[in-house]
Each structure stands twice: as structure tokens, then as C-alpha cells.
Amino acid sequence: MEKTEVIRNILEKNEGVLRLAPNWVPRDFCVPGKRLKLNPDDIYALGKDRGGIDERWFASTTKADNANAPDDEGLSYIYFETDDSVEQILLKEAIELLGDEILGKDIMSRYGGWKMFSKFFDNQNPLPHHVHLQDKHAKNVNSSGKPEGYYFPPQLNFTEGDFPYTFFGLKPGTTKEDVKECIRKFDEGDNGILELSQAYKLKPGTGWSVPAGLLHAPGSLLTYEPQSASDVFSMFQSVVQGQTVSKELLLKDIPEDKYKDLDYIVDVLDWEQNVDPNLAENHFMEGIPVKSKKDMEAEGYFEKWIVYGSNEFCAKELTVYPNEEVIIKDKAAYGAILVQGHGTIQSLKVETPNMINYGDLTKDEIFVAHYAAKEGLRIKNDSKNENLVMLKHFGPGHPTSPKN
């Protein structure tokens, strides 16, 4: 049977819903926080030279830009059962074949595909102060810019890690020459970039918007991170809690002929955003109910926007109360990950695992085709006591997402 027909059959059988397999990504410059529910024995399943697994990617058609990675690292797979086996097809391939049916003709004509992904990143320590490139610089390395958003799910932040604070931007009054001096000192030990920044305490159940060009050193809460479909970055910090950062990571997405051009490297920063005296006011995000809380609770659920303010992506948190069945409508296709509870979505059983072995398939992640989202997803919480909670990530151009 042709793949196109196979995918259509899955969509028909599952009433517009695709199951996705766990998609693990290591980082060799991080210390895993061990809150991803991955079996602790499997943290280094890909070998210590690749680094520990500290990320799980969702609804991804974007390859992870890691050294020595296999060609499909970072790419999500649809999985489905046949009479005698379990088969897998790349979500990327499914959208290339049937994008009009999965995402809708309008999205395909405007954007050409699924242009975002989300992930959990989970680190024991803070990450280096770094920046994701804006489009104008990313295009110089054949990529695209990468804005992102943060949300800290309470269910997965039972421990805060070593440093639950994130540095954002630069102190007002910082000069470009100050930053250049830090770059000059990159190989001399701690280059002092954090002395030019300021940190903010992270709070579970809230989030931050992080536009491309804004320096940030993410703290040690497990973070749900919707973002544009890109993996470009430049590390501006040389030592993090005694761990050195290779200068290769500063120059990772800098054109080779610009390696010594400090003006170019500093120019990847959106300067006005970085020295904004109202940075926290402009980027901190609290949940926004999608409609009247009283009306939603009367219907057996509560839903709020948790990531917003970008035209490139947005996200919601949906809570279905115990023993309730609801119909939830959305304006566009989306990916989703369960963080609490169990039940059914359309005809599919879903459940939040307690522990996942590397290579195991789970029933906690789905992708919802546009027509199923618009008609309304039937969601049943099978527990008499516990909420069913899922995080839903949407691509660009969502018509009802809050813009600020």
C-alpha cells in the first residue's frame, strides 16, 4: 500500500488524530535534570560522547543540529499498529505527502508546511547565556530565525534543579563595546557576560516570550518550549557553574568569514530588546483563559493560553476535570503532549507514563489534523479523581492567539 493511502487510513481510523513516538535529543554541553520520565539508566543511551538526553521534542519536522547526529535526530515519527507489527512514518513525510489534508490548504499555501515544533528541555544546571538568530542573520547560514516561548509545567517541576532563575538580556546602559570585551575574553576563563545581565526567578505555571535576538540563560526548571522550526544559536557565555563552553558554540551559526568580526557577532543581538528597561513587563507571561472560566468549568474543563505574543507559534494548556467528557474545538491543526492523567481522545486511549524506557512507544503524544480540530475533539477523562492535562502547540498564523 502506498504511504499516502496508509496515512489516510490512519487519519480515518483515528478520526483525524495521529499518534507520535517519543523523540529524544541529547546535548553534549548540558547536565540532564532527569524529569523527562526517561529511565535514569537510559540518560546516556546514545553514548556519553553524544551527551545526556535532556530534551524531548514534539511534533517536529526539524532536524536537531547536533554534531555526529543521525539524519533523523529531532524528527517526529507517527506510529501505528498493523495486525502483526508496529510501523512508523515521519511526520515530515506525511505533511509533504498530505499537507492539505493534515494542516489545511490555507496553511500549506501560506507557509509550505509545519513551521514550528515544541519540546521539553530539562537541565540540572542553567544553560549558557545565548541567543537565537534573527532571520537576517540566520539566512547567512541557510536557516531561519528562531523565536521561542517558555512555560513551566507544574506537573514536571517537582524539583527546581540547581538554579531556578533565568538571565534575560542586558542591563540598561550596557554598551556594545562591553559585550565585545566579553567575546575577546572567551578563551581566558569566565568572560563575565552575566555581569552585564540580570536574572529573574522562575515560577511554575507561568512563562516568558523569547524573541529571536534576545540573550537568555535558561534556568533549571523543566521547560515546555514552543518555537519556530529552526535550531540556530550562538553561545555568549564561556563558563557556566565551572563547566567550560567551547568557542565553537559561540561561532556555530556565524559565517566562517565573520569569526573575527566582533561587530557582526554583536549585531546578531536585537540591541533594543536586550537593553529594554521594561524587559520583564514586556516578556513575562501568565495564563489567559480562552473564555469565561465559569462557563468552561460548568462544561467540565478549563483552558488557557500559556504561550502567546508571537505570530510564529502559540500554545494552550487544557485541563479536563475528573470523569468529564468534553468537545474542544480549535481553529488550526496542533500537536499535544499529556502531562497528567489518562482517558480517551476520539477513539484513542491516552495516558501519562510514569517512566519511559529509551525506544519504547507511549500513548501521551498526538497530532491533530485541522479538520478534526475545527469539528471538535472528543476528550474523556477516565479518572474519577485526577485531572487530565495536556499542552497544545500551534503553528504560525493562529487567528485567535493573544498577540501581546
> What are 274-310's pLDDT values in tens digits?
999 999 999 999 999 999 999 999 999 999 999 999 9
pLDDT tens for 351-390 read: 999 999 999 999 999 999 999 999 999 999 999 999 999 9
* Domain contains 107: no
Report residue 67: phi and psi, to 5°.
-65, 140
Q: What is the mean pLDDT of the chain?
A: 96
State yes or no: pLDDT of 75 exceeds 90.
yes
Q: Within this chain, do residues 136 and 207 fall inside the same structural domain, yes or no?
A: yes
CA nearest 60: which of 84, 33, 86, 24? 24
Query: What pLDDT score was predicted for residue 363?
Result: 98
CA nearest 286: which of 161, 404, 197? 404
* Domain contains 386: yes
C-alpha to C-alpha distances, 344 to 11, 12, 58, 153, 302, nearest whole angstrom: 16, 16, 20, 22, 17
Give me the residue label for grid cell 529524544: 24
How would residue 129 be classed by pLDDT, with cut points 50, 70 and 90? very high
C-alpha to C-alpha distances, 238 to 60, 115, 229, nearest whole angstrom: 30, 31, 26
The structure's pTM equals 0.95
State yes or no: pLDDT of 235 exceeds 90.
yes
pLDDT tens for 171-201 read: 999 999 999 999 999 999 999 999 999 999 9
Query: What pLDDT score was predicted for residue 333?
Result: 98
State yes or no: pLDDT of 348 exceeds 70.
yes
- CATH code where residue 352 lies: 2.60.120.10
pLDDT tens for 309-345 read: 999 999 999 999 999 999 999 999 999 999 999 999 9
State yes or no: pLDDT of 403 exceeds 80.
no
CA nearest 256: which of 244, 245, 268, 265? 265
Q: Within this chain, do residues 353 and 246 fall inside the same structural domain, yes or no?
A: no
How would residue 84 be classed by pLDDT, with cut points 50, 70 and 90? confident
For the chain, how many structural domains are there in total?
Answer: 2
Report residue 348: phi and psi, to 5°.
-95, 135
pLDDT tens for 242-262 read: 999 999 999 999 999 999 999
Q: Within this chain, do residues 236 and 265 fall inside the same structural domain, yes or no?
A: yes
* Domain contains 70: no
Mean pLDDT, residues 214-242 taken together:
95
* Domain contains 341: yes
* Domain contains 162: yes
How would residue 10 be classed by pLDDT, with cut points 50, 70 and 90? very high
Last residue of a domain, one of 263, 283, 303: 283
Last residue of a domain, one of 234, 261, 283: 283
* Domain contains 296: yes
Last residue of a domain, one of 283, 300, 330: 283
Q: Within this chain, do residues 279 and 302 fall inside the same structural domain, yes or no?
A: no
Q: What is the 3-state secondary structure (H, E, C) of the chain?
A: CCHHHHHHHHHHHCCCEEEECCCEEEECCCCECCCCCECHHHCCCCCCCCCEEEEEEECCCCCCCCCCCCCCCCCCEEEEECCCCEEEEEHHHHHHHHHHHHCCHHHHHHHCCCCEEEEEECECCCCCCEECCCHHHHHHHCCCCCCEEEECCHHHCCCCCCCCEEEECCCCCCCHHHHHHHHHCHHHCCCCHHHHCEEEECCCCCEEEECCCCCEECCCCCEECCEECCCCCEECCCEECCEECCHHHHCCCCCHHHCCCHHHHHHCCCHHHHCCCCHHHHHEECCEECCCHHHHHHHCEEEEEEECCCCCCEEEEEEECCCCEEEECCCCCEEEEEEECEEEECCEEEECCCCECCCCCCCCEEEECHHHHHHCEEEEECCCCCCEEEEEEECCCCCCCCCC
Q: Within this chain, do residues 204 and 322 fall inside the same structural domain, yes or no?
A: no
What is the Cα Rg of the chain in Å? 21
Q: Within this chain, do residues 279 and 150 fall inside the same structural domain, yes or no?
A: yes
Q: Percentage of the chain with pLDDT > 90?
A: 95
CB 268 within 8 A of CB 137: yes
Mean pLDDT, residues 207-211 taken together:
97
Domain residues for 208? Answer: 25-65+116-283
Query: What pLDDT score was predicted for residue 80?
Result: 94
Neighbours of 142 (CB within 10 A): 8
State yes or no: pLDDT of 1 exceeds 90.
no
CB 118 within 8 A of CB 225: yes
d(CA 218, CA 199): 10
Cell of 16: 483525524
pLDDT tens for 11-37 read: 999 999 999 999 999 998 889 999 999
Q: Within this chain, do residues 294 and 265 fall inside the same structural domain, yes or no?
A: no
Q: Within this chain, do residues 125 and 176 fall inside the same structural domain, yes or no?
A: yes
* Domain contains 3: no
Q: Within this chain, do residues 197 and 292 fall inside the same structural domain, yes or no?
A: no
How would residue 65 be classed by pLDDT, with cut points 50, 70 and 90? confident
Q: Considering Cα of 29, then 232, then 65, then 205, what sign does the dihedral take?
A: positive
Q: Within this chain, do residues 329 and 273 fall inside the same structural domain, yes or no?
A: no
CB 80 within 8 A of CB 8: no
Bridge-partner residues for 150, per DSSP? 208
* Domain contains 177: yes
Mean pLDDT, residues 56-67 taken together:
93
Q: Within this chain, do residues 300 and 258 fall inside the same structural domain, yes or no?
A: no
Q: Within this chain, do residues 316 and 180 fall inside the same structural domain, yes or no?
A: no
Query: What pLDDT score was predicted for residue 404?
Result: 60
pLDDT tens for 132-181 read: 999 999 999 999 999 999 999 999 999 999 999 999 999 999 999 999 99
